[in-house]
């Protein structure tokens, strides 16, 4: 349901945002001027640890158990009731189907019960928007980079809600590759943060792992599957089915971690700079769970400084999945662009401007 006239919104107006795209159940109460009045995140790491990865069915069931308590906690923290909420926002795509439907169903129920507008948002778009939360000046237009467990993609963002796909991974996302290499090295789940910590003790030049597609300047795509395979061969040998790393010394493990991490970062930074050059946009904005990686943040900062590119990276606490980045919904609320109760989840990644 779209209303053409711009709506007047006071700075004290409150939005309830809901996030359940993967394995984080989150809700937040947000004001138009960027304040977070209440926030709650329920993680599921302990549920998925034994499987060394997120199990969709387990994730969906956990969301069912936690979605209402998380919303209630956020509202209690904010000290407000339904009357003070002006709209319900919920991430509807992309993500795990079952997980998305839990958050969407809760949002629809509240929108109907409280007679509030419903606003669906793109989870990936929200990661980019998170780069500008709390900043006085707009970060748009920009090249947006989302690098996480499920996504490693580049976008041309003309405004918060006007964007187009430029390129991205054709196989594993960077975060997924980090986690899988972490499993190969015998690290706890989730493997990414533990791998980065191990890499601090290693030599990033010790092993010449490949940089897939980095030299292909004709496209803005990336690939990490072959790099992951190269790590497996380094650990177990070519053709071996077992990748047990028990035979490696701690120094060897650290060198593998550091060399792998450096290869991934080189690919991400190289393609990001190419995207900025190709679009001629003034700035690069980076969000997603892997954007919390200190080495990636440092290398992006150094590269952008060298090439005179304005860089914005989301605050580390806003890199992983959260509901605060649901503040993106204010951009649609401002123009009266609401959704009906027929709104559905879209699990797959949209490679074009999202349909309303």
On the question of pLDDT at 350 being above 60, the answer is no
Provide CB contacts within 8 A for 83, sequence distance 6+. none
Query: How many CB atoms neighbour CB 10 within 10 A?
Result: 10
Mean pLDDT of the chain: 93
Q: Per-residue pLDDT tens for 20-33?
A: 999 999 999 999 98
Query: How many CB atoms neighbour CB 38 within 10 A?
Result: 21
Q: Per-residue pLDDT tens for 87-139?
A: 999 999 999 999 999 999 999 999 999 999 999 999 999 999 999 998 989 99
The answer to whether 116 and 108 are in contact (CB under 8 A) is no
- Residue 264 is predicted with a pLDDT of 98
- Residue 242 is predicted with a pLDDT of 67
- pTM for the whole thing? 0.91
On the question of pLDDT at 299 being above 80, the answer is yes
Task: For residues 64 and 60, give the distance between their C-alpha atoms in angstroms, rounded to a whole number.
Answer: 6
On the question of pLDDT at 199 being above 90, the answer is yes
pLDDT-derived band at 349, boundaries 50, 70, 90:
low
Mean pLDDT of 202-224: 97
Q: Bridge partners of 30?
A: 15, 36
- Residue 1 is predicted with a pLDDT of 46
Taken in order of first residue, the domains within the chain and their CATH numbers are 14-126+320-334 (3.30.420.40), 134-313 (3.30.420.40)
- Residue 243 is predicted with a pLDDT of 67
pLDDT-derived band at 262, boundaries 50, 70, 90:
very high
The answer to whether 31 and 324 are in contact (CB under 8 A) is no
On the question of pLDDT at 337 being above 60, the answer is yes
Of 92-101, 243-252, 320-329, minimum mean pLDDT range: 243-252
């Amino acid at each position: 349901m779209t209303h053409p006239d711009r709506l007047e919104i006071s700075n004290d107006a409150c939005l309830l945002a809901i996030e359940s795209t993967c394995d984080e159940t989150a809700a937040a109460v947000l004001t138009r001027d960027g304040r977070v009045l209440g926030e709650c995140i329920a993680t599921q790491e302990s549920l998925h640890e034994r499987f060394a990865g997120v199990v969709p069915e387990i994730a969906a069931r956990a969301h069912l158990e936690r979605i209402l308590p998380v919303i209630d906690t956020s509202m209690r923290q904010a000290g407000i009731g339904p009357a003070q909420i002006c709209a319900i926002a919920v991430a509807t795509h992309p993500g795990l189907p079952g997980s998305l439907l839990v958050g969407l169903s809760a949002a629809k129920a509240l929108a109907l019960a409280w007679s509030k507008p419903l606003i669906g948002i793109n989870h990936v778009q929200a990661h980019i928007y998170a780069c500008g939360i709390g900043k006085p000046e707009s970060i748009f237009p920009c090249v947006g980079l989302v690098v996480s467990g499920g996504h490693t993609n580049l976008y041309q963002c003309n405004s918060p809600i006007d964007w187009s796909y430029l390129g991205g991974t054709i196989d594993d996302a960077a975060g997924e590759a980090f986690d899988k290499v972490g499993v190969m090295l015998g690290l706890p789940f989730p493997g990414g943060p533990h791998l980065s910590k191990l890499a601090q003790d290693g030599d990033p030049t010790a092993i010449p792992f490949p940089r897939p597609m980095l030299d292909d300047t004709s496209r803005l795509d990336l690939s990490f599957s072959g790099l992951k395979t190269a790590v497996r061969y380094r650990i177990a040998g070519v053709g071996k089915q077992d990748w047990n790393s028990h035979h490696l010394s701690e120094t060897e493990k650290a060198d593998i971690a550091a060399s792998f991490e450096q290869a991934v970062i080189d690919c991400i930074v190289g393609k990001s700079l190419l995207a900025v050059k190709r679009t001629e946009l003034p700035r690069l904005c980076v969000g997603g769970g892997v954007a919390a990686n200190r080495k990636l943040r440092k290398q992006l900062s150094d590269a952008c400084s060298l090439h005179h590119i304005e860089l914005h990276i989301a605050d580390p606490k806003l890199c992983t999945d959260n509901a605060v980045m649901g503040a993106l919904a204010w951009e649609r609320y401002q123009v009266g662009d609401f959704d009906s109760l027929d709104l559905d989840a879209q699990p797959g990644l949209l490679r074009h401007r999202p349909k309303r």
